[in-house]
């Protein structure tokens, strides 16, 4: 369960990691993230952060790997950032963005307007002859995934024609439909 927790996380240049009690704060060029780690101790030494668990209880082993992975994602996010791309497959499906408002036309009687958190940057790409793409970028991996899942949830890809909102590169299970 906790083999991941034993691996140290290297801190790249330009990123500072502070541990105060059970709160880990990571600052970088893209932003600042904090995480409360319960029952696990974090130590910052010579460009690496290591995590130790108090005992071999199953819950401690699970949290050991969890918090190590969360802090590693925080360090990756504030230094490089995370990007998710969604593709709108279907006739008449469109996307446009004005600031932090995303306007989606997904075949319903009305457009869906989504207010996105200010930490997430939205970019819509519409080229003639290609499906529209919504590009989400942020330093917070959890927030990007949550917003992407919410957008995908408005019109999930259906298995017969593949119409709907899907991640770029996502493989869909297709069904044959009625056989003659």
Assign residue 14 the CATH number of its domain: 3.90.930.12
Q: Which residues contact 2 (CB under 8 A, 6 or more apart)?
A: 53, 61, 62, 64, 65
Using alpha carbons, select from 172, 166, 169, 147 the residue that is nearest to residue 90: 166
Q: Is residue 108 part of a domain?
A: yes
Is 135 found in the same domain as 73? no
Is 141 found in the same domain as 68? no
CA atoms of 88 and 13, how far apart (whole Å): 38
Q: Is residue 179 part of a domain?
A: no
Q: Please write the tens of the pLDDT for every residue from 64-92.
A: 999 999 999 999 999 999 999 999 999 99
State the burial class of residue 70 (Cβ atoms within 10 Å of its Cβ: 0-12, 13-18, 19+): middle
Give 1 or 51, the one with higher predicted confidence. Answer: 51
Is 10 found in the same domain as 47? yes
Number of structural domains in the chain: 2
- Mean of pLDDT values over 114-121: 94
Checking if the pLDDT of 4 tops 90, the result is: no
Q: Is residue 121 part of a domain?
A: yes
Q: How many beta carbons lie within 10 A of that of residue 11, not counting itself? A: 19
Where a domain ends, among 51, 79, 107?
79
- Count of positions (residues) in the chain: 180
Q: Is residue 66 part of a domain?
A: yes
- Mean of pLDDT values over 87-98: 93
User: Would the pTM of this model clear 0.75, i.e. be above it?
Assistant: yes
- Domain of 121, in residue numbers: 82-167
Q: Is residue 180 part of a domain?
A: no
- Mean of pLDDT values over 122-139: 94
**pLDDT confidence bin for 2, thresholds 50/70/90:** low
């Amino acid at each position: 369960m906790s083999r991941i927790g034993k691996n140290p996380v290297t801190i790249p240049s330009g990123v500072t990691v502070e541990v105060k009690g059970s709160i880990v704060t990571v600052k970088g060029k893209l932003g600042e993230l904090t995480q409360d780690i319960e029952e696990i101790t974090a130590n910052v030494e010579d460009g690496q952060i290591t995590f130790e668990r108090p005992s071999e209880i199953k819950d401690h082993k699970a949290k050991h790997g969890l918090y190590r992975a969360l802090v590693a994602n925080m360090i990756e996010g504030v230094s490089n950032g995370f990007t998710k791309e969604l593709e709108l497959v279907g006739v008449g499906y469109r996307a446009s963005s004005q600031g932090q408002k995303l306007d989606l036309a997904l075949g319903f009687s009305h457009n869906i307007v989504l207010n996105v958190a200010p930490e997430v940057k939205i970019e819509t790409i519409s080229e003639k002859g290609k499906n529209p793409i919504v590009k989400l970028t942020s330093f917070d991996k959890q927030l990007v995934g949550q917003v992407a899942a919410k957008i995908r949830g408005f019109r999930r890809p259906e298995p017969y024609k593949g119409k709907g909102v899907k991640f770029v590169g996502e493989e869909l299970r297709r069904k044959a439909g009625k056989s003659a």
